[in-house]
Amino acid sequence: MTKLSNFIVFLFVMLSFFSPVSAAVYWGDLHVHTSYSADAYLQGGSAIPDDVCTSAKNNGLNFAAVTDHAEYNAAAGRMSEYLWNDTVAQLQNGSCAETSTFIPFIGYEWTNQTYGHKTVIFKILNIPFSAVFGAKHYTTPDALWTALDSSGYKAITIPHHVADDNTAATNWDYHNPYYQPVMEIYSEHGSSESCRLNYEAPAFCNSSGSAAYALGTKGYKIGIIAGTDAHDGRAGSVNNGDFVMPRTQFNGGLIAVIASSFSRTDIWDAITNRRTYATSGPKIILSFNINGNKMGSEIILASGEYPALEISAQGVRSVIDRIEIIKNGNSVSPVHTQTFSQNTVSYSWTDNDYISGDFYYVRVIQSNNERAWSSPIWVTTQQ
Ligand SMILES: [Zn+2]
Ligand SMILES: [Zn+2]
């Protein structure tokens, strides 16, 4: 063989060696309203579900969900069967038709002012109106989960703006690990990471709804995502505010999913296994592993082993300013901070003070203050 063909064979061998472990990042927005939500409609909104998919593609997203309020009609406390069936139909055609690069999801928002809001996302599109459980008739989280159980459709419920008492903070006394693998900590309602952080905390911030409380105080194993909560159908409109309902001063965020390939099942499995991270809008690339295990994992170390954190990130239109490592939900005082001033960074850090049961997530902060939050990794030592 010539030197060139030798080299090509070498390349193929290397590619086939690396491809099984390579994982890509896919971008989405799982929290988008149209005029089929009463609040958007009453303020003059005209977006329809098809617009959500057009906007998602224009904003470079790989997946998006339509999540109109299940309580569309205030008197009836219920979305209409006509609007729901029309949403199902639109999501299977036109701009929303599933392709090798775009996947639509259907859902609704369970808008409960006592226990907090949750977006309900289904795995498949063909969901009957009988599986729409609004907060007026399904008044507690347990009632919602029981109803979803009996419907038989695979679904998750994503608590959102969890610390925002202006809308409704999440009551974390109610949690279901099966239905709530992830929480939305950033959107146009700002950051619900912790009320003790300066970064875009809601004006009426409820500490016992925050992500820090759910992860640290309650000890729940929940992954981290962001969304827009746009009410004008504009999925992924992270820099433009919300045209129909410019209700807040914050921009929306995005969910990033880490998956080895792209299909409805791949994206669903990545979300339910917490292989997700959140950004405040820019498509910051973030990889976070401990001892070779991806974000969202629960790992068991051998006796005497320490968690070795490996973080790499790539900034967008700004350099990476720092990586902050958050241990055991103490989001205010990172256990370790490493500063940079470059676009692409890679960093390793071992926690020599580790004790079994510790967990870690990372914040990557650009010099323009935009950021990404990883899902945590939970670590225990074999007894
Ligand atoms: Zn809401
Ligand atoms: Zn919403």
Domain locations in the chain? 23-281, 289-381
108 C-alpha to ligand 2 centroid (Å) = 9
Count of CB atoms within 10 A of residue 138's CB? 19
- Of the listed ranges 18-32, 53-67, 167-181, the least confidently predicted one is 18-32
- Of the listed ranges 33-42, 98-107, 141-150, 210-219, the least confidently predicted one is 33-42
Q: How much is the pLDDT for 23?
A: 82
The kind and range of the H/E element at 151 are helix 141-151
229 C-alpha to ligand 1 centroid (Å) = 7
161 C-alpha to ligand 1 centroid (Å) = 7
Question: 66 or 40, which is more confident?
Answer: 66
- Of the listed ranges 20-34, 184-198, 242-256, the least confidently predicted one is 242-256
Q: How much is the pLDDT for 17?
A: 43
pTM: 0.92
- How does residue 19 score in pLDDT terms, banded at 50, 70 and 90? very low
169 C-alpha to ligand 1 centroid (Å) = 10
232 C-alpha to ligand 1 centroid (Å) = 14
User: If 0-12 CB within 10 Å is exposed, 13-18 middle and 19+ buried, where does residue 311 land?
Assistant: buried
23-281 CATH? 3.20.20.140
- Would you say residue 209 has pLDDT above 90? yes
Mean pLDDT, to the nearest integer, of 207-219?
Answer: 98
140 C-alpha to ligand 2 centroid (Å) = 18
- Bridge partners, 348 (sequence order): 310
Q: What does the alpha-carbon distance between residue 114 and residue 225 come to, in Å, rounded to a whole number?
A: 23
- How does residue 243 score in pLDDT terms, banded at 50, 70 and 90? low
SS (H, E, C) 157-190: EEECCCCECCCCCCCCCCCCCCCCCEEEEEECCE
Percent of the chain residues past pLDDT 90, beyond the cut? 85
Contact 226, 183 (CB under 8 A): no
25 C-alpha to ligand 2 centroid (Å) = 24
116-122 and 155-159 strand pairing:
antiparallel
362 C-alpha to ligand 1 centroid (Å) = 26
- Closest ligand to Cα 168: 1
289 C-alpha to ligand 2 centroid (Å) = 31
Class (C level, CATH) for 289-381? mainly beta
- Of the listed ranges 32-46, 99-113, 129-143, 281-295, the least confidently predicted one is 32-46
Greatest Cα pair distance, the chain, in angstroms, is 78
